[in-house]
Structure 1
């Protein structure tokens, strides 16, 4: 993205200025840009320095001696470093949420149980009435599908869990939950739904959604937390069974051709 590229150039330029013993000119900056994989001309580097001047991040004497970093520039440099650190941490979290076999799926569900149980507790305390009404409507729709002998779309279950996490109004919890609910393997929701189908748990899971939603509507934080913990435990159990017995409970074509998961 262009914004990220500009921030990368800004980080490089301010870093060079902060480390320099004296003013830095466009020639030196162009050299550093090239060393870091950005092949920009000296003229472009000069324009970039002038842009930093306008932002108050650098200052010069108006001549060709170069620029030095300002107090605002130092603060901006620290902000950019923090952004890089956060992106690296987010990338590691995304990598950890990548499911390649049933063992990974099992580990992911264990973390989901802890995060989402707390999310349900907070949602009971913090969600708006409108948010809770929407969550209940989603749960009831899920039950109607099951009673009509329709297998609910995998996304409908994910949406229910995502809505509860968002209703917690805890930014950190929401960020983690969304990564866990939207792992880089796009077919995970289908795997989970097929676990439910093969283990005859679809109806039970749908009813559990309603129980959770009703506890949320009652603003019962402790019950909401307990029911969510129990609900995800019921999702974990058939995965544990498959891992323990290797009975191929999850549909083999889905595993091999769609997502390449391995029974292990």
Structure 2
């Protein structure tokens, strides 16, 4: 009986940690908790009404996703990337997501491609409602880039792009890319990539995806130059 009770408590703590991990991750990615902010575990425990144990587990997971860093004598803070580090992520994304688009053109099932196109129709309606100034994509299956990488079926690419880099890249996409004068262009670029995948033209899909991410990187470079 004691063993069963302990197992239930461990399972409950794990479930709480999962929930808090997701909530704090979303707050960081969407800028509610800004880059560079110090993270107070007592404040978060009070905010979410939880004990320190599940919170520590959630914090460990946030560190593993590269959204939070912990330094001696400084505690935990939301990651802040230098301009060069941010642009490096886009260089990596250009190469690897281009590859993912090529493989997706070869492997993605017809039903998944149809779902991808339906997602883009939904995105078009949402961008139109925002007067073509904002292209906000929710995470996971509602994110075009996530769908393409998953559609490649390549486990190594999925691990790198959907785990190691995804939320960090999304954090800066939220900050720089989702509200901009590139909203209409970005949507059209997504549609062209989806068309190439539907036509099973891997070479074209890769070229279009690379061009799309390169255009986003250049837009960020221009913005950084103005702000700097």
Pairwise TM-score range, normalised by the shorter structure: 0.5 to 0.7
Q: Does the CA-based 8 Å contact 1:123-1:167 persist in structure 2?
A: yes
State yes or no: 1:152 paired with 2:141: no
Distance 1:156 1:193 in 2: 14
Distance 1:143 1:156 in 2: 17
Q: Deviations over 1:32-74 (max 9, x none)?
A: xxxxxxxxxxxxxxxxxxxxxxxxxxxxxxxxxxxxxxxxxxx
RMSD between superposed Cα atoms in Å: 3.0
Equivalent position to 1:187, from 144, 150, 171: 171
Aligned pairs for 1:161-172 (under 5 A) are 161-172=145-156
Aligned pairs for 1:151-230 (under 5 A) are 151-155=134-138, 159-178=143-162, 179-183=164-168, 187-194=171-178, 197=180, 200-230=181-211
Deviates most, 98-107 or 221-230? 98-107
State yes or no: 1:109 paired with 2:94: no
Equivalent residue for 1:121? 102
Deviation at residue 154 of structure 1 after TM alignment = 3.8
Deviation at residue 153 of structure 1 after TM alignment = 2.0
Q: Deviations over 1:162-210 (max 9, x none)?
A: 0100000100011011122222x8732311335x51xx11100011111
State yes or no: 1:237 paired with 2:218: yes
Report the structure number with the largest CA radius of gyration.
Answer: 1
Number of paired residues? 156
Q: Does the CA-based 8 Å contact 2:98-2:205 persist in structure 1?
A: yes
Equivalent residue for 1:18? none
Distance 1:122 1:177 in 2: 14
Distance 2:193 2:81 in 1: 30
TM-score if structure 1 supplies the norm length? 0.52
Aligned pairs for 1:20-59 (under 5 A) are none
Any stretches of 5+ residues in structure 1 without a counterpart? 4-89, 249-262
Any stretches of 5+ residues in structure 2 without a counterpart? 1-9, 12-62, 70-78
Distance 1:173 1:156 in 2: 17
Distance 1:235 1:137 in 2: 23
Deviation at residue 115 of structure 1 after TM alignment = 0.6
Q: Does the CA-based 8 Å contact 1:154-1:193 persist in structure 2?
A: no
Q: Does the CA-based 8 Å contact 2:177-2:216 persist in structure 1?
A: no
Q: Deviations over 1:209-252 (max 9, x none)?
A: 11111111111111100100000011000122234x3x12xxxx
Deviation at residue 129 of structure 1 after TM alignment = 1.1
